[in-house]
Amino acid sequence: RRSSDLNLTNLINLYLYNNQLAGSIPQEIYSLVNLQTLNLNINQLTGEIPPEIGNLTNLTSLYLYENQLTGEISPDIGNLTNLTYLTLLGNGLTGSMPPEIGNLTKLIKLNLGTNQLTGSLPPEIGNLANLTHLMLNVNQLSGEIPSEIGKLTNLEGLGLAYNQFAGEIPPEVGDLKNL
């Protein structure tokens, strides 16, 4: 069969990690609306994560770490309200964390480390009450650590190292008993 004859609309899991895939993420992936897992880790993918990522509303796991992706995290990522795992570690993502990330209330692990993210942490981060791991190490995040971080009472791991945070450590960090 020709590849153009393939119908993958019912695909649930797509694992293409640890290859040498290059270029941008194909637009066709964003029409696979039944996807629950998208794993493109450890490749050589470039370009931006486009707003169409928000079409994949059934995703529970999105793994794009260790690529060469650039640009900002689209606010449309906030449409992925079924996500439990979001890992964008080790890319060249820039801009600030969109406040819409606070819509991802089912998240258990969020890893945006080793990018070039700037700006302050949005207070909406406090909406992610199910998080056990929040890893934002090695970025250029700045401003004060929001007091809303104290709402993340299930945290077992919190990585904020190698950023440019300033001010006082919010006393609410003391509410994080699992750290």
Sheet containing strand 37-39, strands side by side: 13-15, 37-39, 61-63, 85-87, 109-111, 133-135, 157-159
Does the pLDDT of residue 5 top 80, yes or no? no
Phi-psi label, residue 165: left if phi above 0, alpha if psi -120 to 50, beta otherwise: beta
What rounded mean pLDDT belongs to the chain?
95
Does the pLDDT of residue 153 top 60, yes or no? yes
Contact 29, 49 (CB under 8 A): no
Is residue 3 very low, low, confident or very high in pLDDT (cuts 50, 70, 90)?
A: low
Does the pLDDT of residue 42 top 70, yes or no? yes
Q: What is the pLDDT of residues 101-142, one digit of tens each?
A: 999 999 999 999 999 999 999 999 999 999 999 999 999 999
Q: How far apart are CA 50 and CA 47, in angstroms?
A: 9
pLDDT of residue 179: 80
The residue among 75, 118, 128 whose CA lies nearest residue 99 is: 75
The residue among 119, 120, 127 whose CA lies nearest residue 103 is: 127
pLDDT of residue 4: 56
Q: pTM for this structure?
A: 0.94
Q: How far apart are CA 39 and CA 154, in angstroms?
A: 25
Does the pLDDT of residue 80 top 70, yes or no? yes
